[in-house]
Amino acid sequence: MWPLFALLLGLAVGSFLNVVIHRLPKGESIVFPPSRCPACGHRLAPKDLVPVFSYLALRGRCRYCHSPISPRYPLVEALTGLLFALVALFYPPSPQAFLTFAFLAFLVALSFIDLDTLELPDSLTYGLLFLGLASAYLLSFPRPFPEALDGALISAGVLGLVAGYGGFFLRRFREARAEVPVGPHQVHMAALFGALLGAGVGMALAFLTWALSGRTGRPVVLPDRITLPLLPLAWILAPYLGAELLSTLKGSFLAAGGLALAGGLYWALRTEPQGEVAVKAEAGETDPVAMGYGDVKLLGALGAWLGIYSLLALFLGVFAGALVGLAFRQRQIPFGPYLALGGVVAFFFGETLWRAYMAWLGL
């Protein structure tokens, strides 16, 4: 009965997620008004809203105006139902099971919104992050809190640096304009300071430059053409300077992740446009980027749930995204769905895959 209950609950939650996916990017309420046909505007009756079955009974057309209904709706409902049923195979009825339901619901909503808009809403990425940290703190699920916090910061730091180097190469090593008061420049500085001085000091110095930038209204940062080339040099020289390489890498990623997530939250809470970035966007002068910071926040959120296995989710996401991009010859693809796919696989099978890989290596 438990798997059946989970399946039915997932179908119902999937129906609600369709509303979230449709309305949240538009800034509309996800509660009011009640569901209506997007073609004719007729309010839908309860019999029109039975997950999957209403679509099949109506043969994919609106009962009132006979316009086609997107197959996206039953797909989201069925996918969510199947994922919830999968949870029931791993967990008995428990707070842990319902937290996992929430984890998967967030990922489904984020994936389809990214497919539609190439954006990952801060309300969902940070909601997933804070839910994971709260779950770890209160229940030590699915990871103890220190591991969850480190996972979130390291994951965001790794992808933030990937985005930084990718953008640097796309700009052909030209310097990007620094954002005021905080932006990727502080993330790159935090990584360098974290490698040289430790995560805590690196983060503190980068926060200090953030404060000074806000105070003066001018960017107080080191140029990327200095920080980004020096960072791998610091990693290479670490063993020769008496430091452990893994400790140096961890200091970089923790500091970078702390700045990336804190800076993203700062801009998410601002009601006015994002300073110079908004001005440049309106003028069509934005610098080329390899990856949006929404993906950085999403991987940080996955780190809160997966710990270090979030890096497995990143690898799987890159692999899946590359395959799809090559198959369909796409130059720009939404990365969120592939990160979400990697996150689901890593959540349920990460430890098994890691052990199999280590056994294959003979370790």
Each residue's pLDDT tens digit, 212-264: 999 999 999 999 999 999 999 999 999 998 899 999 999 999 999 999 999 99
Q: Do 175 and 213 meet the contact criterion of CB atoms below 8 Å apart?
A: no
pTM score, two decimals? Answer: 0.94
C-alpha to C-alpha distances, 97 to 85, 88, 106, 181, 308, nearest whole angstrom: 10, 7, 14, 41, 21
Q: What are phi and psi of 60, to 5 degrees?
A: 70, 25
**pLDDT band, residue 359 (cuts 50/70/90):** confident
Q: What residues pair up with 43 in beta bridges, in sequence order? A: 36
Residue 312 predicted with pLDDT over 50? yes
Distance between start and end Cα atoms, the chain: 41
**pLDDT tens, position by position, 151-192:** 999 999 999 999 999 999 999 999 999 999 999 999 999 999
**pLDDT tens, position by position, 319-337:** 999 888 888 777 778 999 9
Q: How far apart are CA 212 and CA 68, in angstroms?
A: 56
Residue 276 predicted with pLDDT over 60? no
Q: Which helix (H) or strand (E) holds 21?
A: helix 2-23
Q: Do 336 and 294 meet the contact criterion of CB atoms below 8 Å apart?
A: yes
Quick one: tokens of 115? 């497919």
